[in-house]
Amino acid sequence: MEEIPVKVAVRIRPLLCKEILHNHQVCVRVIPNTQQIIIGRDRVFTFDFVFGKNSTQDEVYNTCIKPLVLSLIEGYNVTVFAYGQTGSGKTYTIGGGHVASVVEGQKGIIPRAIQEIFQNISENPSTDFKIKVSYIEVYKEDLRDLLELETSMKDLHIREDEKGNTVIVGAKECQVESADEVMSLLEMGNAARHTGTTQMNEHSSRSHAIFTISICQVEKNTEAAEDGSWCSRRHIVSKFHFVDLAGSERVMKTGNTGERFKESIQINSGLLALGNVISALGDPRRKSSHIPYRDAKITRLLKDSLGGSAKTVMITCVSPSSLNFDESLNSLKYANRARNIRNKPILNFSPESDRMDEMEFEIKLLREALQSQQASSMSQTSQIHREETPDNRILFLEEQVAQLQGECLGYQNCIEEAFTLLVELKDAVRLNQKQQHKLQEWFNMTQEVRKSILTSFRGSRGIGNLEEGPQHITVIQLKRELKKCQCALAADEVVFNKKELEVKELKNQVQMMVQENKEHVLSLKEAQKVNRLQNEKIIEQQLLLDQMSEELTKLNLSMTSSAKETCGDGPDARIPEKRPYTVPFDTRLGHYICIPARSDARKVYTSPSVYSLDRVVAGFRTRSQMLLGHIEEQDEVLHCQFSDNSDEESEGQEKSEIGHQSHSWIQKPGSVCSLVELNDIHDQTQKSSLENEDLKVECLQESQELNLQKLRNSELILTEAKQKMRELTININMKEDLIKELMKTGNSIL
Ligand code: ADP
Ligand code: MG
């Protein structure tokens, strides 16, 4: 990579009107016909370009900048920066002032460069140009976007891209189509730039400004692309930085105070850092040492331009006034050092372009790989599919063997025919010795091949000869079919086994259910048995009750007759015919109370087996109710008959306790009276016998209640058993249906 030095130009501005008025003396001159400048009496400096007080903007541009524009179009990053004291003519030279108001001849470098760039674009129709513009200023060590003033300085960052180029992340890049568009952006940025009035310059730039034009060039069409090949169009991205530095100044001379003073400090520190960088880069002894780019923002931004990969021109502006001698001398020293800086300019290809090239190459390789893979996969497709299972692999190999055997057979036939033909020709045609030798060799070779084929076939097949080929193919095919059938059969067997297992399970379930059913039937029978026994017991008890009631009736009758004998005729003679009762009397109960009703009840009890369960239960209920009524009746009667006067006294209390009973007493006052009267004539013997009877009745009542409870329980069991029976029957029916269906499907599969 070629190293080129930073080109340094020195421009001496003319004395300003103000300076002429103040009779300033000129202390810096250009030595005519040389590139030298003399300052003071004898300090001579040589530079790449020197411009005197009468130099024009056009001259400066053509000499220093035009080559840079050409380099930019070629693809190099280029930089021009103006350095010098405040009011030395930096902004004037760069063209960063109010460009719109400047006359054509006075236009600085930027407007001229813009013009030329667009002229180049219009002259180069085979290339697509994409132009972007950005404008940044460094004010008091802070970055500021002059094209987007709203952008916060915190959002602007100086970074290095993968190629080591300095970039400002977050800066607005305006894409432009024409020179006018760029000029208006420049104007806009200039207007936003920090300037201030100092004693040395009415419009002193208080910041370093960097105006950047980025050019992306794409070749419109290439011959390589015409043939449809993968060759890409070339992308070139290059940048032109126009740097207008803030002026170096002596605070005393500028008369700055307050904010201006602070600005001056910042400006000077930035320029000091730039001076250090230039010194470091320009000093041959410090070449390999550290370059303090990071000391200031401006040095970081100019890293590519100073000692980097850009082509750079430094224009040092000096004031001719002897009043500024020291500053001018310093600037010239500064400029002189900068001449030692060497850059290594490189052509820029956009990273996208490089990546594109890489990708296109990759695509090419992939395409080739794909093509070769497609070719191989075409032949292997069937193999890949068949290799899924070992069986398929065997089938595939068998197929291949058969195919090869077929081919071999064909070749063998050809060779046989050729062999016989050549044997005939050997005798018929005259051959020279060489030909005869060759033919003999062929015969020998053919014989060997024939032998080897025969042995290999016998070895592999064990029996037969080559004529077995077609039969062998048929056998293979048949084998294949057999295998298929065997596979299908195995699958069917699996299905059958499954079905058989299912049927077995279902049969087991049915058996279990039948067993359960049997158990339920048994429990039902037992319940019925218990029921029958209880019925019988109830009947016995009823009989006993009937007997007792009969006895009671008799006793009553005897008592009544004895009473009649004692008291004569009375209204109570009707008592035995119509007894008092506590439960409402109805026809249903009536016939049970009467003696003929017993014969009816007996009819039912003698043949319980012929009745259905429901009827038995219904009968039970009826009888139990009847019995209850009867017992109560007995109880009431006895109670009424044998209660004494004290009972009468506590009648009101009884009423509240057993309202229903007392109610019945009220209904039959006549009978009560007769019984009370009877009590008076009652002897002790009769009384004790009656008490015994009462106890018996109570016992019977208790046992009756117990029996009723048992009856209810057995009824409940019976209902449950019935329910279970019903459920089981439904379940069995369902299972039977299922078995039938399974049998049907099994038959259909068979
Ligand atoms: P700087 O930017 O270095 O502070 P300016 O570019 O603002 O200085 O120039 C200061 C003044 O000098 C301006 O009025 C400008 O017009 C004038 N000036 C600078 N250089 C020249 C020149 N070569 N010819 C005529 N006038 C100049
Ligand atoms: Mg300026």
The residue-averaged pLDDT of 265-294 equals 79
Nearest residue (CA) to ligand 1, atom 22: 13
Q: Choose from 222-231, 429-438, 691-700 the range with maximum mean pLDDT.
A: 429-438
88 Cα–ligand 1 center, Å: 6
**Assigned token pair, 262:** 């602070």
The residue-averaged pLDDT of 37-46 equals 92
Taking the CA of residue 107 as centre, how many other CA atoms within 13 Å lie in the half-sphere pointing to its CB?
18
Strands 204-205 and 195-196: what pairing? Answer: antiparallel
Model pLDDT for residues 385-442, shown as the tens digit of each residue: 545 566 677 777 877 887 787 777 777 777 777 887 787 777 777 778 888 888 888 8
180 Cα–ligand 1 center, Å: 24
The residue-averaged pLDDT of 162-182 equals 88
Q: Nearest ligand, CA of residue 11?
A: 1
Give the bridge partners for 51, in sequence order: 11
For residue 636, the model assigns a pLDDT of 42
Q: Nearest ligand, CA of residue 13?
A: 1
Among 11, 12, 13, residue to substitute to test ligand 1 (most atoms within 8 Å of Cβ): 13
Determine the residue type at 691. Answer: E
The residue-averaged pLDDT of 158-172 equals 83
In this predicted structure, the answer to whether residue 272 has a pLDDT above a threshold of 50 is yes
In this predicted structure, the answer to whether residue 250 has a pLDDT above a threshold of 50 is yes
Give the bridge partners for 7, in sequence order: 313
7 Cα–ligand 1 center, Å: 22
Q: Give the CA-trace dihedral at 381, 384, 389, 392, to 10 degrees.
A: 40
Q: Which of 553, 577, 575, 579 is nearest to 564 (CA)?
A: 575
For residue 664, the model assigns a pLDDT of 35
For residue 116, the model assigns a pLDDT of 94
Q: Is 549 annotated as a binding residue?
A: no
For residue 65, the model assigns a pLDDT of 95
Model pLDDT for residues 485-509, shown as the tens digit of each residue: 888 888 888 888 888 888 899 999 9
Nearest residue (CA) to ligand 1, atom 20: 89
546 Cα–ligand 2 center, Å: 144
Q: Which of 316, 329, 330, 335 is nearest to 278 (CA)?
A: 335
What count of residues does the chain have? 750
For residue 202, the model assigns a pLDDT of 58
For residue 183, the model assigns a pLDDT of 93
Mean residue pLDDT across the chain: 75
Rounded to whole angstroms, the Cα distance separating 685 from 681 reads 12
Q: Nearest ligand, CA of residue 106?
A: 1
Model pLDDT for residues 632-642, shown as the tens digit of each residue: 555 444 443 43
Is the dihedral angle over the CA atoms 445, 451, 455, 458 positive or is it negative? positive
Q: Nearest ligand, CA of residue 208?
A: 2
Nearest atom, ligand 1, residue 88 CA: 3
Q: Burial, 19: exposed, middle or buried (Cβ in 10 Å; 0-12, 13-18, 19+)? A: buried
Model pLDDT for residues 323-361, shown as the tens digit of each residue: 999 989 999 998 998 998 989 888 876 556 566 666 777
The residue-averaged pLDDT of 226-237 equals 59
139 Cα–ligand 2 center, Å: 13
Band of pLDDT at residue 619, cut at 50, 70 and 90: low
Q: Is 85 annotated as a binding residue?
A: yes
Contact indicator for 206, 258 with CB cutoff of 8 Å: no
> What's the 3-state SS for 658-701?
CHHHHHHHHHCHHHHHHHHHHHHCCCHHHHHHHHHHHHHHHHHH
Q: Is 590 annotated as a binding residue?
A: no
Measure CA of the first residue to CA of the last residue in the chain; give whole Å: 89
Rounded to whole angstroms, the Cα distance separating 391 from 36 reads 96
Nearest residue (CA) to ligand 1, atom 9: 89
278 Cα–ligand 1 center, Å: 24
Band of pLDDT at residue 278, cut at 50, 70 and 90: confident
For residue 624, the model assigns a pLDDT of 55
For residue 538, the model assigns a pLDDT of 86
Strands 7-12 and 311-318: what pairing? Answer: parallel
The residue-averaged pLDDT of 313-331 equals 93
Tell me the three state secondary structure of residue 601: helix
- Cite the DSSP H helix spans in 339-432: 351-386, 390-428
Model pLDDT for residues 115-131, shown as the tens digit of each residue: 999 999 999 888 889 99
Q: Is 86 annotated as a binding residue?
A: yes
Task: Considering only CA atoms, give the Rg of the chain.
Answer: 66
Rounded to whole angstroms, the Cα distance separating 569 from 567 reads 7
In this predicted structure, the answer to whether residue 605 has a pLDDT above a threshold of 50 is no
Q: Nearest ligand, CA of residue 52?
A: 1
The residue-averaged pLDDT of 536-551 equals 87
Q: Which residue has the higher pLDDT, 590 or 164?
A: 164
How many helices, marked H, and strands, marked E, lie in the chain? 23, 18
562 Cα–ligand 1 center, Å: 167
The CB density around residue 498, as the number of other CB atoms within 10 Å, is 10
Rounded to whole angstroms, the Cα distance separating 647 from 653 reads 10
Q: What are the backbone dihedrals phi and psi of residue 302, each rounded to the nearest 5 degrees, phi first?
A: -95, 15
Rounded to whole angstroms, the Cα distance separating 332 from 302 reads 20
Name the pTM for this structure.
0.51
Nearest atom, ligand 1, residue 317 CA: 3
Q: What does the longest C-alpha to C-alpha distance in the chain come to?
A: 188
14 Cα–ligand 1 center, Å: 9
Contact indicator for 348, 236 with CB cutoff of 8 Å: yes
Rounded to whole angstroms, the Cα distance separating 166 from 310 reads 11
Residue for token pair 């293979």: 476
Strands 4-5 and 235-244: what pairing? Answer: unpaired
The residue-averaged pLDDT of 299-312 equals 90
Q: Is 89 annotated as a binding residue?
A: yes
Rounded to whole angstroms, the Cα distance separating 695 from 117 reads 140
529 Cα–ligand 1 center, Å: 136
Rounded to whole angstroms, the Cα distance separating 306 from 341 reads 7
343 Cα–ligand 1 center, Å: 29
95 Cα–ligand 2 center, Å: 9
Residue for token pair 């193919």: 473
90 Cα–ligand 1 center, Å: 7
Calculate helix-pair angle for 613-642, 595-606, nearest 10 degrees: 150
Rounded to whole angstroms, the Cα distance separating 431 from 201 reads 114
For residue 317, the model assigns a pLDDT of 95
List the domain boundaries for the chain. 4-221+232-349
**Assigned token pair, 448:** 């060997």
Determine which of 24-33, 150-159, 470-479, 514-523 has the lowest per-residue pLDDT on average.
470-479
For residue 581, the model assigns a pLDDT of 41
Contact indicator for 196, 204 with CB cutoff of 8 Å: yes
Rounded to whole angstroms, the Cα distance separating 188 from 174 reads 12
Q: Is 746 annotated as a binding residue?
A: no
Q: Nearest ligand, CA of residue 54?
A: 1
Give the bridge partners for 37, in sequence order: 30, 45
Rounded to whole angstroms, the Cα distance separating 355 from 376 reads 31
Q: Is 371 annotated as a binding residue?
A: no
Model pLDDT for residues 637-680, shown as the tens digit of each residue: 444 343 333 333 333 333 333 333 333 333 333 333 333 344 44
Tell me the three state secondary structure of residue 312: strand
For residue 416, the model assigns a pLDDT of 79
Q: Nearest ligand, CA of residue 12?
A: 1
Residues at CB less than 6 angstroms from ligand 1: 13-14, 16, 84, 86-92, 201, 203-205, 247, 317
In this predicted structure, the answer to whether residue 241 has a pLDDT above a threshold of 80 is yes
Band of pLDDT at residue 291, cut at 50, 70 and 90: confident
For residue 586, the model assigns a pLDDT of 41
**Assigned token pair, 443:** 């015969």
Domain 4-221+232-349 of CATH type 3.90.1720.10: no
Rounded to whole angstroms, the Cα distance separating 563 from 645 reads 19
Among 64, 92, 193, 256, residue to substitute to test ligand 1 (most atoms within 8 Å of Cβ): 92
Calculate helix-pair angle for 595-606, 469-567, nearest 10 degrees: 160
Strands 43-46 and 36-39: what pairing? Answer: antiparallel
Nearest atom, ligand 1, residue 53 CA: 23
Nearest atom, ligand 1, residue 13 CA: 23
High-pLDDT (> 90) share of the chain, %: 23
Rounded to whole angstroms, the Cα distance separating 542 from 625 reads 12
Alpha-carbon distances of 740 from 514, 690, 748, rounded to whole Å: 17, 73, 12
Model pLDDT for residues 711-724, shown as the tens digit of each residue: 888 888 888 888 88
Is the dihedral angle over the CA atoms 427, 433, 435, 438 positive or is it negative? positive
Q: Is 84 annotated as a binding residue?
A: yes
Nearest residue (CA) to ligand 1, atom 19: 89
Alpha-carbon distances of 711 from 256, 614, 630, 702, rounded to whole Å: 125, 13, 18, 14
Rounded to whole angstroms, the Cα distance separating 377 from 371 reads 10
DSSP string, 164-201: S-EEEET---EEESSHHHHHHHHHHHHHHS-EE--SS-
